[in-house]
A and B are shown apart, each in its own frame.
Chain A
């Protein structure tokens, strides 16, 4: 697996984290495309050097020759240059043939994962977050979560993309290239992650005010860990043992939050916003905007417009004690 393990030299030089980069592939599709990128970079880089060498040589040649005050030449005969032109055209033609063939072959490879598909994930783009639904292998029911995509390593997942509002683009560069999420259509993309770890995806098609904060975490798990995760996502929310958190539960599931959010197993059944049933198990909130913590949850509930201006989440004014209780409950939703 070492071919997946080497992030590009460029990234190391620039201090890039590499969790959202096509140079640092963690899946079959991204690896194929990175191979194509390397081939392209070599051929195009070589052509650029050749052009610069020719340009430099012609300028150098002119410097070396004194400029006579002769009349300008009108259509001189250039047999040698004409041969050069033909050779140059042949060179470009050969280079393009290689690159077009390579593109075609890589494209075929991206398509060939299709029939080995074993897992279906439905992803719906919303302004500005992601709704995710997994097919329960036992019952065939849909299990819903949001903003955190889990994938099993070594299995091909088919991602079905739909939009609830405008055009978005689903992009997890470490795993595969992007695919647009278009209202009125279902697009499909197959991904075969290989390397376990945390990665990051982000919306790549401008989708309005908060396009910049429409990210999601991606966790590639070992298949057994993935099955455990899916089983735990399937369970309804537990009733917390802690008294404060139980008070928070009443605030969340009977208060204004319930108008937009689902907490399965409670009275909160709103459909406009992300599913909160297992919010406490996630890594971040507000579509990759804030790391999950009790403080972040309190801040987000009280001042969403300060953190993510334009978000559709309204500010909810709570007494400090209530805010703390609500955040404790949400944090406990594991």
Chain B
């Protein structure tokens, strides 16, 4: 099946493939598509819209805190703003946008036509959109959650939060976690079973490794938060008393279950960023990454350690000190794999021939910023020191350095890096540099002073402070920095928007990349690749004298994909990939009705399950012709 073939000898399958993989035109195509690129692009754009809205909330909060005793917002308005900002950023921006990037990139990096479960990808997006709409429509109706991005009971329980604000928060998590679990299963299955022939585990691009680890972590971590928010909802709705001490429950149980998810979540966001940075550093240093094996081991190490340190969010709750010392050591140990990664990237630049395009600038900004967040993380990991730092602005600074510096900066770099692949045009370098300087500079002006504010005793989540506390100057500086950063965000967005039409044409491989996505045209055709590439190196596009070797044999008149073995990627069989379908959307609507209804009545779980079951039954109704012989044959008389 495989073999080196000169281009002339290959059958011309492009025209039939385009016909086979095309979506229906117009609205029907829009609603039924299972094209991973279209779905992922919607995912990314929705997450970017959420980033914009949550960013506006941040600006609003910074204005309120810019001077002592400002009266822009009352306490309720401020509490809603930080709750909505945090919940949106964590659950509706950071996690989904990383999965969306993977849904777009992974099949292209693997030389595949689509993901393992295309309809599930569509379902993921519709569920995610359901969560987005529920939270923000609730905000428009003034049912905004107002207790932060983790809502500790008893404050979030029925006694202290009547109404439906806390339910909206808890159910938004259910939405986004169903979407994330579905996307993670999809990504993990694609990576493990759909690699091109020859791409053994040891030849996977680092981005693919990071997405594999992040997806497996998601599958292990997210059930914990779905469980805990469901327990909260049942406490609120049917008085189960999981978290009310007077009813025999325990308020701390919530924190354990939440942070057992919450800490891995940070790495679920950060690990894909490791993949972005590795891809960019490799391409722009014109050499393969230094220390591939240590990098992979470091990612795996972070993935495992991440599950053993959730208690460092709870050092002040009064747990035994010896246990705290263990979690201190486990949390600090993360610095070892993370530090090795930083060294590997710098060593790659040192021994390569770096070129400074905007994606590379973002990597430099990432290292300079993220390392501060990592080091302040070591400080907060120390249980005695954390007693002074936790719940202050020091932690606000730390978490933004880690999440913005460590995940969003690489994401912006990745956006610039793969933008020409997605759109066929390059973004303006000049405006890219201006946006980079404004965002990174403004971010550091905005957030570095918060370390000092924390050390001067300013607690987080306060809507105002007195003039005699002496926090005014640094807060004003922080607000100015936020505005600079926000201006940079507008420049970045305008650059991306205007380059869609005006940018210079990119061609298939504008940066000289090493991985398979650069082998297809920009933007890629609906079926991604005419033929399945065959790989014999970690950098397939840098090893070839002429054309990439390919494998033929997949049908062009049916949607077929190649399934390979888990470790060595040996071709095993051809699999039929599903046609476009409206059922993922219908199933998502039915599930959304159940979720939203269960905020108001427990009976929604009963009656709402019927449409969900009906939608799933229709979705999975077998349409294949039945076999008439063989082991699975049905004998008809």
Contact = CB atoms under 8 A, between A and B. Distances in A.
Given A16-B470, A85-B291, A92-B339, A55 B286 contact: no
Given A33-B385, A204-B459, A183 B350 contact: no
A40 interface: yes
A183 B245 contact: yes
B259 to A, nearest CB: 14
Contacts of A204: 316, 390-392, 459
Nearest to A84: B347
Given A51-B371, A203-B459, A81 B350 contact: yes
A89 interface: yes
Interface in A67-103: 67-68, 71-76, 78, 81-82, 84-85, 88-89, 92-93, 96, 99-100, 102-103
Interface stretch (A20-28, A242-250, A265-273, A318-326): A20-28
B384 A182 contact: no
A312 B411 CA distance: 46
Q: Which of A72, A185, A211 has the most CB of B within 10 A?
A: A72
B244 to A, nearest CB: 8
B353 interface: yes
Interface string B312-335: 000011100100110011001101
Interface centre among B382, B465, B468, B512 (most CB of A within 10 A): B382
B interface: dominant SS: helix
A21 B506 CA distance: 55
Contact of A81 (B290, B318, B512, B514): B290
Given A209-B79, A210-B75, A33 B388 contact: yes
A73 B352 contact: yes
Contact of B342 (A37, A51, A57, A185): A51
A185 B246 CA distance: 11
A173 B391 CA distance: 12
B512 A72 contact: yes
Interface residues of A, number: 93
A36 B384 contact: yes
A30 B460 CA distance: 20
Nearest to A62: B354
A166 to B, nearest CB: 4
A74 B537 contact: yes
Given A51-B367, A88-B343, A76 B287 contact: yes
Contacts of A223: none
A251 B74 CA distance: 32
A3 interface: no
A230 B433 CA distance: 65
Interface stretch (B11-19, B175-183, B450-458, B587-595): B450-458
Given A89-B340, A209-B79, A185 B318 contact: yes
Interface in A1-51: 8, 10-11, 14-18, 20-23, 30, 32-33, 36-37, 40-41, 44-45, 47-48, 51
Interface string B289-326: 01110100000000000000000000011100100110
Q: Which 9 A-B pairs have the closest CB atoms?
A: A177-B387, A184-B245, A20-B457, A212-B462, A58-B350, A187-B318, A44-B375, A16-B470, A103-B382
Given A22-B457, A74-B537, A185-B252, 12 more contacts: A20-B457, A62-B354, A72-B286, A81-B290, A85-B347, A103-B382, A169-B316, A178-B316, A179-B316, A184-B250, A204-B316, A309-B75
19 contacts: A10-B452, A37-B385, A40-B378, A52-B368, A54-B350, A59-B349, A59-B354, A62-B353, A72-B512, A74-B537, A78-B290, A96-B332, A107-B325, A110-B384, A185-B245, A206-B152, A206-B391, A212-B464, A309-B75
